Amino acid sequence: MTVSKEKDGRWLVEINRKGLKRVRRRFATELEANRFESDYVAPHIKAVERDGRTLKQVVALWFKYHGVNLSDGVRRRRCLDAVAAALGNGVAVELSAEAFVDYRYARLEAGLSPKTFNNHHGYFSSMFERLIKLKVIDYSNPLDGIDFVKIHERQLSYLSGGQIEALMGSINNGCVNESTWYVAQLCLRTGARWGEVEQLCFKQLRDGRVTYEFTKSKRTRSIPLDAVFYAQLLEFARGKSPNDRVFTNCIGAFRRAVMRAGLSLPTGQCSHILRHSFASHFMMNGGNILSLQKILGHADISMTMRYAHLAPDHLLDAIRLNPLAVITANDSHSQPR
């Protein structure tokens, strides 16, 4: 029961219902307790009764009020629609945690990777949070309390110096499309995503710097270039108007160059490996993690921290401060005989 009498004669109201903030309050009389319970729960019941919109209708509202403004909004909407359909496209407010966990089990059993499912989970949960913030819906997030699938962290792959030389040699010797070499060079020199470089316009090259616009984070960032390479780049783009693209599409040529170079890359990282390689070598060569965040355009430092372990002095205190190091320093007879 929600309302119950305690030993001291007071009346306890304990509400723990889906969609409501949990509450425990005590009142002097049963009448006061029942009145509080009614006033607290009634608005929620009315909201549920009047909101019969389906999951797909909620997705459409999210896209209209928020998703349309995202750089990947159309792609994300397709994902949300697919999840809504797989969940049976029922009334959104009636979506239960159990139903979503059952859906998760089925998708993982069917072979979907935990990381991909976590992405879908995050999209769906953030959709509800955004609509709550915009007051489009007045019930709580149905996915609150559902944990993401735990994934073993893996070290990000990157190319060694020798592999980079082999790749650039493969591009030089086998690519007819000259854009391929310059796009790869810019990715390795600035940590940019392949698409950011491939779509570069001539006006984005100014004063020895390249400025990336329409980025994933929707923030522009300008990065200086080596003077010799910058001169080569301007020569390659000679005759272009400010709004002309500097390069032609060349991702296919790059992928073939990777194959010719004999490089085995993780699935989905063919072009992104250049960005990882820039960031990894930046840290291994003593770069600052905050500078790297600005160069890569990460809004959240936690994304950049994935590369922190590659710094030359990362966690070196483990050598100096471990208990055996202290014992050894104080004991001249610590070595076995």
d(C-alpha 238, C-alpha 325), whole Å: 61
State how far Cα 290 lies from the chain centre.
Answer: 18
Q: Is 328 left (phi over 0), alpha (psi -120 to 50) or beta?
A: alpha
Considering Cα of 250, then 256, then 262, then 265, what sign does the dihedral take?
positive
Cα within 13 Å of Cα(186), Cβ side: 28
Instruction: Select from 121, 120, 62, 54 the least CA-distant residue to 89.
Output: 54
Sort strands 23-27 and 11-15 into parallel, antiparallel or unpaired.
antiparallel
Looking at the annotation, which residues are catalytic?
193, 216, 272, 275, 298, 307
